[in-house]
Amino acid sequence: MYHLRIVAPPERSKQTLELLKTSSSVCNVIFHEGAALAPRGDVILADVAREDASVIIADLRELGLGEEGSIALESIDTAISKGAEQAEKAAKGAPSDAVIWEQVEFRTSEEAKLSASYLAFIVLATLIAAVGLLLDSPILIVGAMVVGPEFGPIAGFCVALVERQRKLALRSLVALAVGFPAAIAITYLASVLFKLSGTVPEGFSFDESTFAHAISNPDFFAFVVAFCAGVAGMLSLTTAKSGALIGVLISVTTIPAAAAIAVAAAYQDGDAFTGSIAQLAVNLAMILLAGVATLVIQRRLYLRRRHEHMREGSRRAAGLSAENARNAPPEREPV
């Protein structure tokens, strides 16, 4: 279940209440007249089944509450209520499979920004991966994958493509275009220092290092793993199975590939340098492809549910017609 906190202008309150009270997937509707001060209006609280959260929010936005009022959404960890059980039964599908598009948009928008913390994490992750390659340490390489923040802007770009959000697409591309080169450049300098100071094990080479050799020589399975990880990552982001995200991060070698590029450059190994660039390109391309494909399928399923919702009595009770309704939230700027 999800909890809605709505601030509605007085002239919209009646429609909003009718929409929520007559929707079978909504329960625990509470009305506080004139309780909101900025913006001024009435406060309406309600609980909605996760499966129908996006379609209900789309109706609320159609009433103009996104512009003239406020819509806040938060997850309910535990709800002991017969009404909540009935609301969940009335909503079609499984709660864990439902996508709350507004939440996905907000989360990816936040994680796709180029910030000091993002740059710090991607640089630190790449440095850790470089040490892991030099020491042939799987623990350090796995740790670098977990620390790496690159999945945020990758997911943001996928969402931007599917929902045609130009600003989000540009932010995501900037984060990737600045983050990876900066991390590679700093890691290259560190690798040169490691080499000159003699702290690296003698005789290090990409051919003799198990993990360095594997990362700098992408094969068919690199495509398969990256695509599967892209699908799993997007599913973990859009559904309630967010615990799978750590596993996805460990499965993808974007950060180790970036580290391998820097280390290969420091050791002037042309073959390893080219292979590592190919590995990074393969991973980024396949994750993007898989992420977009996953979102397209999920979006079509949502639009089908939204289309079915158009004919429900709750919309008529709120004065919303099927003819004038929008299938989704307001159109975004084209990419």
Q: What is the CATH number of the domain that holds 91?
A: 3.30.70
- Asked if the structure places residue 132 within a domain, the reply is yes
User: For the chain, what is the domain count?
Assistant: 2
d(CA 150, CA 172): 10
Same domain as 263, residue 115: yes
Among the candidates 64, 96, 128, a domain finishes at 96
Give CB contacts under 8 A, 24+ apart, made by 321-329. 325/62, 326/58, 326/62, 327/303, 328/58, 328/101, 328/302, 328/303, 329/57, 329/58, 329/61, 329/66, 329/101, 329/102
Mean pLDDT of 79-94: 87
* Mean pLDDT (whole number) for 212-232: 90
Sign of CA dihedral 199, 205, 210, 211: positive
Q: Which amino acid is at 305?
A: R
| 83/111 same-domain check | no
pLDDT value for 241: 61
Q: What is the mean pLDDT of residues 148-177?
A: 92
Residue 309 lies inside a defined structural domain of this protein: no
Residue at 248 is within a domain: yes
Are 115 and 228 in the same domain? yes
Side-chain half-sphere CA neighbours of 254 within 13 A: 30
Residue 268: what pLDDT? 92
Is 306 contained in some domain?
Answer: no
| Within a domain: 138 | yes
Per-residue pLDDT tens for 30-43?
999 999 998 899 99
Q: Which amino acid is at 229?
A: A
Question: Is 310 within a domain?
Answer: no
- Which of 96, 128, 158 is where one domain is finished? 96
Task: Answer yes or no: do 136 and 246 share one domain.
Answer: yes
Q: From CA 335, how far away is CA 293, in angstroms rounded?
A: 17
Q: Are residues 47 and 169 in the same domain?
A: no
| Cα separation, 246 vs 35, whole angstroms | 42
Q: State whether 187 and 226 are in the same domain.
A: yes
Instruction: Please indicate, yes or no, whether residues 128 and 250 belong to a single structural domain of this protein.
Output: yes
Residue 247 to residues 90, 96, 97, 145, 162, Cα–Cα distance (Å): 33, 18, 19, 10, 25
Same domain, 188 and 283: yes
Arithmetic mean of pLDDT, 296-314: 88
Give the pair of three-digit tokens for residue 297.
């399928």
Q: Which residue has the higher pLDDT, 253 or 279?
A: 279
Residue 249: its pLDDT value, please?
62
Residues of the domain holding 78? 2-96
Contacts (Cβ under 8 Å, ≥6 apart) of 27: 46, 47, 48, 81, 83, 84, 86, 87
Q: Are 75 and 148 found together in one domain?
A: no
Which residue type occupies 174? V
pLDDT of residue 332: 45
User: Is the pLDDT assigned to residue 225 strictly greater than 50?
Assistant: yes
Separation CA 181–CA 187 (nearest Å):
10
Looking at the structure, tell me whether residues 90 and 122 fall in a common domain: no
Q: Is residue 203 exposed (0-12), middle (13-18) or buried (19+ Cβ within 10 Å)?
A: exposed
Residue 59 identity: D
Average pLDDT in the 53-69 region?
92
Domain final residue pick, 96, 117, 146: 96
Answer whether 0.85 is exceeded by the pTM. Answer: no
Lowest mean pLDDT among 37-41, 63-67, 248-252: 248-252
Q: Look-up: residue for tokens 């991390």?
A: 183
Report if residue 154 sits inside a domain. yes
- Does residue 59 belong to any structural domain of this protein? yes
Are residues 146 and 47 located together in one domain of the fold?
A: no
Looking at the fold, whether 26 and 68 belong to one and the same domain comes out as yes
